[in-house]
Amino acid sequence: MGAVAMMQPTSAAAAAPHSEAAPRLRVENVSLRYQTPSGSTFSALEQVSFEVPDQQFAVIVGPSGCGKSSLLYLTAGLAEPSAGAIYVGGAKVEGPGTDRGMVFQSYTLFPWLTVRENIEFGLKRRGIGAAERREIVEYYLNEVGLKAFADNHPKQLSGGMMQRVAIARALANDPQILLMDEPFGALDSQTRLQMQQLLLRVWEHSKKTVVFVTHDIDEAILLGDRVYVMGARPGRIKQILDVPIARPRTLDMVMEAQFIGMKRQILGLLHDDLAELH
Ligand SMILES: Nc1ncnc2c1ncn2[C@@H]1O[C@H](COP(=O)(O)OP(=O)(O)OP(=O)(O)O)[C@@H](O)[C@H]1O
Ligand SMILES: [Mg+2]
């Protein structure tokens, strides 16, 4: 469990109603406050509201400490908001569930299980039969290019390979939404570029809604349909920007004027925020 869940957030407000035509993710007036050791209240997120439509690749960027991970933890149901509510597929998040797949920066594979068994883990727990499990596992092993490594244990894999298993494991459960918190942050830049392309390919096949947190603006623009720029103190959404670049996205697009223009815009928003802190 992450650091966010270690301290009890202050009292939760009543849930808001939800409409019939719900987007895949709806974050409604979410605040997250912590009681500091000195007895005052620290506001990690303040009145955050946004929606992510079905099948969208949403990317969240923002300065360190603005509450990006907190937002994912709340969506994952690993912590509870102090006020507001989060809905996935119209249902209020009230705890962890297999409708939300997660891939985090630190490697979270089960070290005692093989690649195949890691991918199979959630399927087994859900009581899916052996033949169907095998079919699903084979499909995702193929998607992430790890067929030859199916019987390896995590310690026999590189960092990029481990994250590919984590992606396969999350998708094998057929979640409504994939939550990714800086999943490529610990990888070298070459592997990172390969992983971005792999993720885009897998996403285009799976049509999942993705919420992806990154510090890397190039990565945000290269992957996202929309970039949600957050500000800090208190953590909030500053601006939501559509990425006007056609798919499929390739690495050479980072040189294009549209790409550079968007990068400048996001950097400007982030710099404003840094200036506010001084
Ligand atoms: N359990 C906790 N108790 C008190 N404060 C916390 C707790 N967990 C997180 N915070 C604070 O909440 C704020 C948001 O943290 P969070 O980890 O969500 O930020 P982040 O945007 O993911 O940062 P980074 O980019 O560095 O990963 C931070 O200021 C952090 O210090
Ligand atoms: Mg974080």
87 and 52 Cβ atoms separated by less than 8 Å: no
Cα torsion 89, 92, 97, 101: sign: positive
Q: Is the predicted pLDDT of residue 238 greater than 80, yes or no? A: yes
- 36: tokens are 């500091």
Element (H, E) at 198: helix 189-206
According to DSSP, the residues that pair with 85 across neighbouring strands are: 28
CATH placement of domain 23-99+175-277? 3.40.50.300
Element (H, E) at 258: helix 257-277
- 125: tokens are 């727990």
Does the beta carbon of 64 sit less than 6 angstroms from any atom of ligand 1? yes
**How confident is the model at residue 19, as a pLDDT?**
42
CA-nearest of 153, 148, 12, 147 to 77 is 12
Q: Is the predicted pLDDT of residue 109 greater than 70, yes or no? A: yes
Q: How far is the CA of 127 from the centre of ligand 2 (A)?
A: 33
Our mutation pick for probing the ligand 1 site, out of 34, 73, 75, 212, counting the most ligand atoms within 8 A of Cβ, is 34
Longest CA–CA separation in the chain, Å: 59
- Round to whole Å and give the CA distance between 189 and 90: 38
Chain segment 9-40, per-residue pLDDT in tens? 443 333 334 444 569 999 999 999 999 899 99
User: Using a CB cutoff of 8 Å and minimum separation of 24, what contacts does 117-122 make?
Assistant: 118/154, 118/165, 118/169, 119/165, 119/168, 119/169, 119/172, 120/172, 121/169, 122/98, 122/169, 122/172, 122/173
HSE-CB for 211 with a 13 A CA cutoff: 29
Residue 37: how many other CB atoms lie within 10 Å: 7
Q: Name which residue sits closest to atom 10 of ligand 1, judged by CA.
A: 4
Does the beta carbon of 269 sit less than 6 angstroms from any atom of ligand 1? no
Query: Where does residue 161 fall: left (phi above 0), alpha (psi -120 to 50 degrees), or beta otherwise?
Result: alpha
Does the beta carbon of 67 sit less than 6 angstroms from any atom of ligand 1? yes
Lowest mean pLDDT segment, chosen from 15-24, 212-221, 230-239, 248-257:
15-24
Q: How far is the CA of 128 from the centre of ligand 2 (A)?
A: 33
CA-nearest of 95, 106, 136, 100 to 118 is 136
Our mutation pick for probing the ligand 1 site, out of 35, 66, 230, counting the most ligand atoms within 8 A of Cβ, is 66
Q: Is the predicted pLDDT of residue 92 greater than 80, yes or no? A: yes
More confident of the two residues 243 and 8:
243
Q: How far is the CA of 3 from the centre of ligand 1 (A)?
A: 8
Q: How far is the CA of 18 from the centre of ligand 1 (A)?
A: 28
CA dihedral (74, 77, 83, 89) in degrees, to 10, reads 90
